[in-house]
Amino acid sequence: MGIDYGRSKVGISLALSGLAEPYKVIRYKDLNTLKGQIAEIVKKEGIDKIVVGVSEGKSKAEAENFGKNLNVGSQTIFFDETLSTHLAQELSREAGVKRKKRKALEDAFAASVMLQSFLDSNV
């Protein structure tokens, strides 16, 4: 599972084979509710590793803190997600994804780009 962490929403991607795919975007106000939703996905999909994307500065510290406190029974790994959102936007435009869908799933697309980079770097 890949997570593109944000202060009000997170993008989730899954790689049940060697290919990362956007799964969903979770909007939240309460971290405990968010962690519960992630725990449900982990259980439902049988996830054993969670890759949390980190960038730089304050957002890096927030993403690392979030990942360290997930406690959903899966191994948590941190991976550089710098420019994943930009690349996800570019790829979805090139693929002809309509603007409304791109906007709605932007964070999930970014999570899948980050997760695929992680998978490719660990082959």
Q: What is the CATH number of the domain that holds 87?
A: 3.30.420.140
**HSE value, Cβ hemisphere, 13 Å, CA-based, for 89:** 6
| Tens digits of residue pLDDT in 69-105 | 998 888 999 998 776 666 666 766 676 767 766 565 6
d(CA 98, CA 38): 27
- The amino acid occupying position 109 is F
Name the helix (H) or strand (E) containing 9: strand 9-14
Taking every pair of C-alpha atoms in the chain, what is the biggest distance, in angstroms?
Answer: 38
Q: Which two tokens stand for residue 97?
A: 């994804």
Report the predicted TM-score, pTM, of the whole model to 2 decimal places: 0.84
Q: What is the pLDDT of residues 9-44, one digit of tens each?
A: 999 999 988 899 999 999 999 999 999 999 999 999
- What is the residue range of 84's domain? 2-121
Question: In total, how many domains does the chain have?
Answer: 1
CB atoms within 10 A of CB 49: 14
Find tokens 């990942």 and name the residue: 67
Residues 7, 5: Cα–Cα separation, whole Å: 7
Euclidean distance between CA atoms 8 and 26, whole angstroms: 8
